[in-house]
A and B are shown apart, each in its own frame.
Chain A
């Protein structure tokens, strides 16, 4: 899927260290939990996480399925990428959509990003975890993404009902993770906790991990709304009276539901160019996400409710 034809490169000491730490975390989950699952959100972080899982269990396959929470509003390119990756590695892929939310007509455009996220992502995730009775779920979140993430454990305990209590987290000393839970409780596991966005790209580059083409700059039709560039991936998103679609050279730093993911103008069409661009960028990757600017401390609130 990647437009890259570059060769695989040796890893720096730093990336080797991160890789080993993540592999150990992933193996720990396989060894201790009855029914783990890996959240696969199709983005660059998920790509790295899956790659690490493939490495962790080689020559076996990862002993857990992938789970995608589909809000129904993902870029079409993302879904193609998802299916091709699962097929390529022969992995079991579970897809869950909150049918209730669909029936209620919840969508990111008229319901607002907050309600949409709450129902189609957070609630949907909880439904899926309950439905398949998963006791541990991997997520690709990183501590450098956001302030409340920087506070979260690698093995993050959730009480029954998937609640995170940030003020009462289990101390996590050395790499002696406490994996013990009672019935109904679960653990969210973050193997990429100590990675930065730059690490992710450098690793993706070095290991030639395929990513969704939307990360690379290309001429794409976008509209400008509230100062953000939005790509209409299909015609469910109505144009406002004076809005015009125009083709610009853009790419995405972070992928989610297309009406909520803003593109940036960029010429970076290869992994090397993305890395170069990152090194001089002055804004964070989350700045293009509409859902985070909704309210102060919104991430912590969402996480307490069960969001990843």
Chain B
């Protein structure tokens, strides 16, 4: 093969010609209106990436939407959404590409508004460096600190501190040094390895791509010069081999290939590898690609590996180097950035995406959240939108990972809301909490199956959910009486009773409601393990928690019974006088009044006490149990 002339193409206007240093991905961030988008527009313009028809459109746009009078508003080159142009702000991250003779760049322009912090984090997650802007008139602001902290947390090590709008402070060196001093004082506590302050005017181009005569006191590089020379490689090649299996390729019985992208390290045919979760060891046989087999694959390469033994490997597994294994645990501590309106509730089940795997996960405890202004730790029970905290998490099955500080590829995860599927949180793993015990769990001599044989019926959770006063306890009591009469082992867990003992310390906030149900679920699971039919009557207003309990036990063991009495009827009945008090404002967070009830979508049984007696409802439930062969 002849070497392609890509590296020799002379770079002319508009081209991404022959970069001599690797691609650099960076982001711009900082407070609202500090000039991030303007700076990027300026970079595109100065590197001649704006073509004639685009320039004509920009001039038209600047007249219509511009914030700069008769001048060109460079921000309009990047603020591509209608809403952004109308309001003159950035809402979502934009990715732009440009290059100089020395290097190609992908830049993420991120929003300064606090409301859109998650979009800033998105841009930071894939960047090697950050340009943090500060308005020279305003100095270091809360948002400057927040963005700096997020950059540091997400593993960015190189920062350019662009003190912008220097034209508006008469190109004052004194002002510049003052701001830089302020910033360095704050940034000491962060883990940056380089901070390069540069005075700039994004609008007029000073020290962006050309040195400015108006800042004679400044002798350092321009933004572009600095970024061109920056060595920001993460050295992923030099780290232990990690290969999350993405897809199993089976065109015929003779070929079984594992497709994926090398997350870190290098691999060659003949190398020993292990399947991280099972510890099974084997060797790499071939590195297959459409262009022929390769002698080696490195971090970032998308390849297909074949193995020398028939080991059990599926999507979600990780192949790794045996001498330097990833941790495999089901509990770990991680920094979590919360990204949706609905707060993060410890105890609630989320879907975790880590590597090529999805696994149910819960935040077991929130150790603290961090005040972005002072970096102080504050005690908290929940995380709100854009808040960051250190959490302990538990996954349904053990996962393989490296701490994020050691490997950005294998130490990151996202949390997904299980109902809306929104991307709810971003996590960076700090350390594992304990070795997963479930791999070598002690086999018990008497197990659930043995107890079930002795009992003569199957265990189950009968979960009664519904509004206060809907009749849950009344019906559950009748069902238990009947079951007991048939010689069935039963136990009753009732909301009011549990709250007097086990859950005495919990109130009625959303977070406490979740914890309440989590504990009840765990207790119910023990009863199921013991072979009993356990009846649980809890308002349990959130789908997520009911689903969490459902997932604690085996398929078919959780039977959800929706006692579907209309709110109006419950209010009329009001057996405990609670509705009256809630309506009078004397009880807060009362389900159906000022706290929502999320009705089940797929309850196994739905009963409406308005349509028949409690006895009728109980009989229907017993029939359902017979139908499901829980009892005979």
Q: Tell me whether B300 is interfacial, beta carbon within 8 Å.
A: yes
Task: Decide if A283 touches B53 in the complex (CB within 8 Å).
Answer: yes
Q: Tell me whether A12 is interfacial, beta carbon within 8 Å.
A: yes
Instruction: Map CB proximity to A onto B310-352 as digits: 1 under 8 Å, 0 otherwise.
Output: 0000010000000000000000000000010000000000010
Task: Decide if A20 touches B290 in the complex (CB within 8 Å).
Answer: no
Task: Decide if B300 touches A60 in the complex (CB within 8 Å).
Answer: no
Chain A residues near B85 (CB, 8 Å)?
297
Which residue from A20, A178, A181 sits with its C-beta under 8 Å from B300?
A: A20
B contacts with A, residue count (CB < 8 A): 83
Please give me the 8 A-B residue pairs with the lowest Cβ-Cβ distance, nearest first: A147-B80, A9-B4, A58-B290, A12-B6, A173-B125, A23-B302, A287-B53, A20-B302
Tell me, in angstroms, the Cα distance from A10 to B12 when the chains sit together. 22
**A30, closest chain B residue (CB):** B247
Tell me the residues in window 169-203 of chain A with beta carbons closer than 8 Å to chain B beta carbons. Answer: 169-178, 180-182, 185, 193-194, 196, 198-199, 202
Known: A173-B122, A300-B80. 20 other contacts (CB 8 A): A9-B4, A23-B261, A24-B302, A55-B289, A59-B251, A59-B257, A60-B249, A144-B96, A150-B80, A151-B94, A171-B339, A171-B426, A172-B423, A174-B125, A176-B353, A180-B358, A180-B421, A279-B10, A283-B51, A296-B61
Q: Tell me whether B93 is interfacial, beta carbon within 8 Å.
A: yes
Task: Decide if B78 touches A150 in the complex (CB within 8 Å).
Answer: yes
Which residue from B119, B302, B413 sits with its C-beta under 8 Å from A171?
A: B119
Q: How far is the CB of A63 from chain B (nearest CB, A)?
A: 9
Chain B residues near A147 (CB, 8 Å)?
77-80, 94
Task: Decide if A150 touches B95 in the complex (CB within 8 Å).
Answer: yes
Tell me, in angstroms, the Cα distance from A12 to B23 when the chains sit together. 12
Chain B residues near A119 (CB, 8 Å)?
none
Q: Tell me whether B304 is interfacial, beta carbon within 8 Å.
A: yes
Task: Decide if B118 touches A58 in the complex (CB within 8 Å).
Answer: no
A-B CB contact pairs (8 Å), 20 listed = A8-B1, A14-B16, A17-B23, A17-B300, A19-B302, A20-B300, A24-B260, A151-B92, A166-B92, A167-B83, A167-B92, A170-B422, A173-B121, A173-B414, A173-B423, A178-B353, A205-B4, A279-B11, A279-B15, A283-B52
Tell me, in angstroms, the Cα distance from A9 to B4 when the chains sit together. 5
Q: Which of A17, A171, A174 has the most CB of B within 10 A?
A: A171
Which residue from B60, B94, B247 sits with its C-beta under 8 Å from A27?
A: B247
Tell me what chain B mostly uses at the interface: helix, strand, loop, or mixed.
mixed
Q: Tell me whether B238 is interfacial, beta carbon within 8 Å.
A: no
Instruction: Map CB proximity to B onto A272-304 as digits: 1 under 8 Å, 0 otherwise.
Output: 000100111111101100000000110011000
Task: Decide if B246 touches A166 in the complex (CB within 8 Å).
Answer: no
Which residue from A12, A27, A180, A202 sits with its C-beta under 8 Å from B246?
A: A27
Q: Tell me whether A209 is interfacial, beta carbon within 8 Å.
A: no
Task: Decide if A178 touches B7 in the complex (CB within 8 Å).
Answer: no
Tell me, in angstroms, the Cα distance from A74 to B617 when the chains sit together. 65
Task: Decide if B354 touches A171 in the complex (CB within 8 Å).
Answer: no
Q: How far is the CB of B479 from chain A (nearest CB, A)?
A: 33
Chain A residues near B121 (CB, 8 Å)?
171, 173
Q: Tell me whether A148 is interfacial, beta carbon within 8 Å.
A: yes
Q: Tell me whether B138 is interfacial, beta carbon within 8 Å.
A: no
Tell me, in angstroms, the Cα distance from A104 to B416 when the chains sit together. 44
Instruction: Map CB proximity to A onto B49-84 as digits: 1 under 8 Å, 0 otherwise.
Output: 001111000001100100000000000011111110
Chain B contact residues, CB within 8 Å of chain A? 1-4, 6-7, 9-17, 19, 22-23, 51-54, 60-61, 64, 77-83, 85, 91-97, 104, 106, 118-119, 121-122, 125-126, 246-247, 249-251, 255, 257, 259-261, 288-291, 300-302, 304, 315, 339, 351, 353-354, 356, 358, 408-409, 412-414, 416, 421-423, 426
Task: Decide if A171 touches B259 in the complex (CB within 8 Å).
Answer: no
* A279 in contact with B14 given A12-B7, A19-B302, A170-B423 (CB within 8 Å): yes
Q: How far is the CB of A16 from chain B (nearest CB, A)?
A: 8
Chain B residues near A198 (CB, 8 Å)?
15-16
Q: Tell me whether A28 is interfacial, beta carbon within 8 Å.
A: yes
Tell me, in angstroms, the Cα distance from A196 to B7 when the chains sit together. 16
Interface residues on A, range: 35 or more
Q: Tell me whether A143 is interfacial, beta carbon within 8 Å.
A: yes
Q: Tell me whether A39 is interfacial, beta carbon within 8 Å.
A: no
Task: Decide if B53 touches A196 in the complex (CB within 8 Å).
Answer: no
Q: Tell me whether A240 is interfacial, beta carbon within 8 Å.
A: no
Chain B residues near A275 (CB, 8 Å)?
9
Which residue from B118, B250, B356 sits with its C-beta under 8 Å from A31?
A: B356
Task: Decide if A284 touches B53 in the complex (CB within 8 Å).
Answer: yes
Instruction: Map CB proximity to B onto A219-234 as digits: 1 under 8 Å, 0 otherwise.
Output: 0000000000000000
Which residue from A12, A59, A196, A278 sits with its C-beta under 8 Å from B4?
A: A12
Chain A residues near B10 (CB, 8 Å)?
279
Q: How far is the CB of B474 from chain A (nearest CB, A)?
A: 35
Task: Decide if B414 touches A10 in the complex (CB within 8 Å).
Answer: no
Which residue from A146, A196, A286 sits with its C-beta under 8 Å from B97?
A: A196
Tell me, in angstroms, the Cα distance from A143 to B54 when the chains sit together. 15
Task: Decide if A57 touches B80 in the complex (CB within 8 Å).
Answer: no
**A51, closest chain B residue (CB):** B290
Q: Tell me whether A206 is interfacial, beta carbon within 8 Å.
A: yes
Tell me, in angstroms, the Cα distance from A176 to B246 when the chains sit together. 12
Chain B residues near A8 (CB, 8 Å)?
1
Tell me, in angstroms, the Cα distance from A24 to B409 when the chains sit together. 14
